[in-house]
Amino acid sequence: MSHDDLSREELVARLETERRGTSETDNLLRELRACQLKLEAQNRALREGQEARDDALSIVTHDLGNFLSSIAMASDLLARTITAGERQSGGELLDAIGRATHRMQTLLTTLGDAGLMVAGCFHVDRRPDQLQSLLAEAVATLRPCSVVKRIRLSLRVPDDLPWVVCDRERIHQVLANLVRNAVQHTPEGGTITLEAARAGQDTVRVAVSDTGSGIPSEDLPHLFDRYWRKGPRAQGGAGLGLFIAHGIITIHDGQLWVESDVGRGTTFFFTLPVAERQPPAATATS
């Protein structure tokens, strides 16, 4: 129906309806814009707060690191200069100072690594390396952690495991985090197993399995979040170990993931790229 077929009253009524509709749309658009501006302001404030926290953390980490280094050197010097008799009476205190200093230095290193990752400044020195020997070294280094709880720590790798491209020290750091977590949440007499096998032409997959308490399914999506410490694995620590491990593996062009069955155990998997050229000594073991 055209405007010519409408009476004056009908035309006025239609125009008024259209005007009200346009006005309501305008109001909705204004409300949406106001909500958008509010969210942008909140996000900006959140980013500024995170940046301020990270800046403060960086400064504190640096300064505390200097103080702890001084304490560690003084403690070591004192331990070297005291007599045997003095060692008998004050040795335990010096040992306690040494252990506490080492724990704090480890925590500060962890905080520093996390800060570098968030800033996009974390780097690794990747080069061809023999994964078999790296895993064997990690098991030998970490076995004392498991002996305390009579946990069996074993390694299963094929003889023909290819070399990978990795930063040896950083991958050892990942393994140490995964194994220590497994020890913490595996009961006495349990088992922790490190395995590695080729997963396709260009990838090796490493697995760290335990017979521990397992992780609830609702916690799994958050395990690699920074500072996340909820759930059965929240005892101690800064909630950064798995965040850093995930970052290290990602920088290696790999993936890190977890599968868990509550009451039966947990397995963490990660992948590393196979070295394009296997060194001549690739078949040697150490």
Same domain, 179 and 65: no
How large is the average pLDDT for residues 109-134? 84
Query: Would the pTM of this model clear 0.75, i.e. be above it?
Result: no
Which of residues 121 and 259 earns the better pLDDT score?
A: 259
- Tabulate helix, strand, coil % of the chain (nearest 5): 60, 15, 25
> What is the CB-side half-sphere exposure of residue 119 using CA atoms within 13 A?
16
Same domain, 96 and 153: no
Same domain, 142 and 112: no
* Domain CATH for 238: 3.30.565.10
Q: And the tokens for 84?
A: 């045997």
pLDDT (0 to 100) of residue 260:
95
Which of residues 209 and 95 earns the better pLDDT score?
A: 209
Range of the domain at 100: 1-122
Q: Is the pLDDT of residue 273 over 80?
A: yes
- Indicate the helix (H) or strand (E) that contains 251: helix 241-251
Number of domains in the chain: 2
Same domain, 132 and 116: no
- Indicate the helix (H) or strand (E) that contains 168: helix 168-184
pLDDT (0 to 100) of residue 54:
63
Give tens-digit pLDDT for 56-106.
566 666 566 666 777 777 777 777 777 666 666 666 677 777 777 766 777
Contacts of 257 (CB under 8 A, 6+ apart): 268, 269, 270
Which of residues 129 and 27 earns the better pLDDT score?
A: 129
Same domain, 133 and 273: yes
Same domain, 11 and 90: yes
Same domain, 93 and 148: no
Same domain, 173 and 272: yes
How large is the average pLDDT for residues 242-252? 93
Of 122, 137, 152, the last residue of a domain is 122
Of 87, 122, 157, the last residue of a domain is 122
Of 122, 154, 186, the last residue of a domain is 122
Same domain, 135 and 274: yes
Same domain, 105 and 208: no
